[in-house]
Amino acid sequence: MSVKLARMNEEAFNQYYNSAIQEYANEHVKAGNWGEEEAFDKAKKQFEQLLPDGLETNAHVLFSIMYGNETIGTLWLNIKSKQHEKHGFIYDIKLDDDQRGKGYGKATMIALEEYAKSENINQISLHVFAHNERAFALYEKMGYKAKSYNMSKRLS
């Protein structure tokens, strides 16, 4: 099974953008970082800072994840130079709900690694919310190692 990463077009970006902001806000609420009343505005502000020029934002590449001719998800990668190497950071990776559990996540990570090698990217990093156990397990299986942990204890 293989998937392809295709540069996102403007129409796909517009569909992705608002739903991604809402999903990001929801993840922060679920993680206990933000309250529901503030979450969307905070998420929107972060997206506006990260992607001020949309698809044309320097050092950011947004992909549609393709299986055959069907779009099955999205991937957002930031590429920066650090210590004389190129590093990629996955800001977002999402498969459509009906495409999960079919092996496309692993196939997407393999396609990303192939893209990274073709672009001379030496390292790929990402953030995963602790409550997303399925994603955490996939990333570990793919060879990603935790570099730090944020921990908290709810007292009330």
- Assign 132 to helix, strand or coil: coil
CA-closest candidate to residue 125, choices 83, 80, 84: 80
Nearest alpha-carbon partner for 75 in 102, 110, 46, 41: 110
Q: Which tokens is 85 given?
A: 């190497």
Whether the pLDDT of residue 129 is over 80: the answer is no
Q: Residue 35: which region, alpha, beta or left (left: phi > 0; alpha: psi -120 to 50)?
A: beta
**Which residue did the predictor score with more confidence, 142 or 5?**
5
pLDDT at 9: 97
Each residue of 39-50: b (16+ CB within 10 Å) or e?
bbebbbeebeee
H/E stretch holding 42: helix 36-50
**Average pLDDT of the segment spanning 119-130:** 89
Question: What's the whole-number average pLDDT of the chain?
Answer: 91
Check residue 146 and give its pLDDT.
79
Residue 155's pLDDT band (boundaries 50, 70, 90)?
Answer: confident
Prediction pTM value:
0.86
User: What are the residues facing 7 on neighbouring strands?
Assistant: 63
Considering only the C-alpha atoms of the chain, give the largest distance between any 2 of them, rounded to a whole number of Å: 50
Pairing of strands 121-126, 85-95: parallel
Does residue 152 register a pLDDT over 90?
no
Helix (H) / strand (E) containing 86? strand 85-95
Tokens of 36: 């529901």
